[in-house]
Amino acid sequence: MPQLPNETRWKSHEACLATFISNYYIYVEIRTEKEQEFDKNISKILDNVAIYREALYLQKQLAVIVKALDRFQSDSVNISDAVEIWKDALDHDLLQSYRQEIKKRYDFAIQPFHLFANTMDPKYMGRRLTGEEEETVEQWVASNLSDEFLAVMLSFKIKDTDMFPATLFKEELAKKFSTKKWCKLISIKNKK
């Protein structure tokens, strides 16, 4: 059954396109069988192969957005992940024609504390931040936390083994442990 998109749900837009695409040939078959009774305007839409191709392409683009939204709404997402999700959307080939709009939303949504969280997350360590974003983080930490914490953050960025155990910087460990667990390990190690 054809699905109509809901104004507030991106998934419904993707589902609407998926329904149209998966049923396209059935619609054409029905139109062929009942040509006399079929609405001419709908026939024009079905005869226009460019609309079908555009629906295929739009569905691929929406799939990227839906995947990003699923990640944003995940039970295990944290604010450091938000930066990565946005950057994935900014860098995705299928979304390049919307890059400026996505960048505007990114600039509106992502605040210095998101960038800070991304910098301090062992999975990301701020690797994808621009030089300007790194500067923003450093200024934010210096003005909102302390110079001492700025020193800790910079030591973390360079993987300073005088401050942090080298084994905790292994990528395998960062991928397997949540940021919370990773920080707890640091805390335990520093108490010894």
Residues with Cβ within 8 Å of residue 175, at least 6 apart in sequence: 123
**Pair 152, 85 in one domain:** yes
User: pLDDT digits over 167-190, tens only?
Assistant: 888 888 777 777 788 878 777 876
**Pair 79, 154 in one domain:** yes
Q: Report if residue 174 sits inside a domain.
A: no
Instruction: State yes or no: pLDDT of 1 exceeds 70.
Output: no
- Two tokens, residue 1: 């059954």
pLDDT for the residue numbered 93: 97
pLDDT for the residue numbered 79: 94
**Pair 49, 79 in one domain:** no
**Pair 2, 65 in one domain:** yes
Query: pLDDT: is 163 or 53 the higher one?
Result: 53
Domain count, the chain: 2
Q: How far is CA 128 from CA 131, 132, 146, 150, in A?
A: 9, 11, 24, 19
Q: Are 119 and 129 in contact (CB under 8 A)?
A: yes
**How many CA atoms lie within 13 Å of 77's alpha carbon, on the beta-carbon side?**
16
Q: Report if residue 186 sits inside a domain.
A: no
Average pLDDT over every residue of 116-130: 94
pLDDT for the residue numbered 111: 97
**Pair 3, 50 in one domain:** yes
**How many CA atoms lie within 13 Å of 29's alpha carbon, on the beta-carbon side?**
5
Q: Report if residue 63 sits inside a domain.
A: yes
Q: Report if residue 23 sits inside a domain.
A: yes
Residue 58 pLDDT class (50, 70, 90 cuts): very high
Domain that holds residue 2: 1-73
**Pair 152, 92 in one domain:** yes
**Pair 90, 144 in one domain:** yes
**Pair 41, 2 in one domain:** yes
**Pair 61, 124 in one domain:** no
Query: pLDDT: is 30 or 7 the higher one?
Result: 30
pTM above 0.75, yes or no: yes
Residue 153 pLDDT class (50, 70, 90 cuts): very high
- Two tokens, residue 37: 């009774």
Average pLDDT over every residue of 23-50: 87
